[in-house]
C-alpha cells in the first residue's frame, strides 16, 4: 500500500478536510488515477478540530474515516466510502463522514453553552451540564466551572456579570436549563437590552 507523503507533514487541508493543500491534492489525484491501494494516513485541518484518513486496501473501494472534537474534548467519528475514484467523489465521501462524526460528537457532548449579550454586544457565557455523569467541572481546558463564567468564587463556581439585573439572571438560568434539557427549543430570550442565545 502506497503512503502519500504530502499528508505526512503537518496539516493536509486548509479550512475543512477536503480543501487539500496543492501538493497533497496532486498526490491524491495521482493515487486515484492509479486505482491501486494507497493511504493518506491521518491528516488534520488547519482551522478545524478535525482529522481524516483516506485509503483503499484493495484498489476498488476508497474509504474515509473522520474524527472530530471540540473545546470540551467531545469526540465523534464517522465513516464513508465510494467506488468512484475521482477527487469530487472522495471529497463528497469526506463530507459525509464528517457529517456523521459531527452528529456523533453532538450526541456525546455533555454541555450546552449560551451567549449572553447586551445591545448586541457579548457580555457573558453560561454553561449547563447535560451529561449523564455528574462531572464537577466541564471537560476540556477552556472552562473550569459550570454556570456563569464571569468570575470564579472561592467555592470554584462562577458568578454572573455584575451588570445583569438579578431578576434577569434568574430568568436566564431557568430558560437555559429548560433549553438544555429539551423543554423548549426557542432561538433566544430577550429581556430589555439583555439576550441569551444557545451556541448551537
- Helix, strand, coil fractions of the chain, as percent rounded to 5: 25, 30, 45
Helix/strand/coil (H/E/C) assignment for every residue in 12-74: CECCCCCCECHHHHHHHHHHHHHCCCEECCCEEECCCCEEEEEEECCCCCEEEEEEECCCCCC
| CB contact at 8 A, 20 and 64 | no
Query: Please, which residues bridge with residue 127 across strands?
Result: 113, 147
Percent of the chain with pLDDT over 70: 98
Return d(Cα 1, Cα 38) in angstroms, integer: 5
- Look at 64-68, 96-100, 146-150, 174-178 and tell me which has the smallest mean pLDDT: 146-150
- pLDDT exceeds cutoff 80 at 173: yes
pTM of this structure = 0.82
Return d(Cα 26, Cα 194) in angstroms, integer: 51
pLDDT digits (tens, 9 = 90+) for 137-159: 888 888 889 999 987 666 667 88
pLDDT digits (tens, 9 = 90+) for 1-48: 999 999 998 799 999 999 999 999 999 999 999 999 999 999 999 999
Q: What integer pLDDT is reported at residue 129 of this predicted model?
A: 94
Q: How many residues belong to the chain?
A: 200
Q: Torsion angle, CA of 16/18/22/23, rounded to 10 degrees?
A: 110
Domain map (residue ranges) of the chain: 2-108, 111-198
Residues with Cβ within 8 Å of 48's Cβ and at least 6 positions away in sequence, in order, are 15, 16, 17, 68
Q: What integer pLDDT is reported at residue 154 of this predicted model?
A: 65
Amino acid at each position: 500500500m502506497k503512503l502519500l507523503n504530502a499528508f505526512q507533514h503537518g496539516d493536509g487541508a486548509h479550512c475543512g478536510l477536503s480543501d487539500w493543500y496543492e501538493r497533497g491534492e496532486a498526490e491524491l489525484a495521482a493515487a486515484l488515477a492509479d486505482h491501486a491501494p494507497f493511504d493518506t494516513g491521518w491528516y488534520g485541518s488547519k482551522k478545524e478540530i478535525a482529522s481524516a484518513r483516506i485509503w483503499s486496501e484493495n484498489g476498488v473501494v476508497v474509504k474515509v474515516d473522520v474524527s472530530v472534537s471540540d473545546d470540551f474534548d467531545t469526540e465523534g467519528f464517522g465513516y464513508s466510502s465510494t467506488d468512484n475514484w475521482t477527487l469530487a467523489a472522495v471529497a463528497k465521501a469526506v463530507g459525509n463522514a464528517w457529517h456523521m462524526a459531527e452528529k456523533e460528537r453532538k450526541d456525546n457532548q455533555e454541555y450546552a453553552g449560551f451567549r449572553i449579550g447586551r445591545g448586541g454586544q457579548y457580555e457573558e457565557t453560561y454553561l449547563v451540564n447535560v451529561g449523564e455523569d455528574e462531572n464537577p467541572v466541564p471537560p476540556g481546558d477552556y472552562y473550569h466551572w459550570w454556570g456563569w463564567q464571569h468570575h470564579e468564587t472561592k467555592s470554584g463556581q462562577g458568578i454572573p456579570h455584575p451588570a445583569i439585573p438579578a431578576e434577569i439572571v434568574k430568568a436566564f438560568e431557568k430558560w437555559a436549563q429548560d433549553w438544555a434539557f429539551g423543554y423548549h427549543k426557542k432561538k433566544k430570550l430577550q429581556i430589555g437590552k439583555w439576550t441569551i442565545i444557545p451556541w448551537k
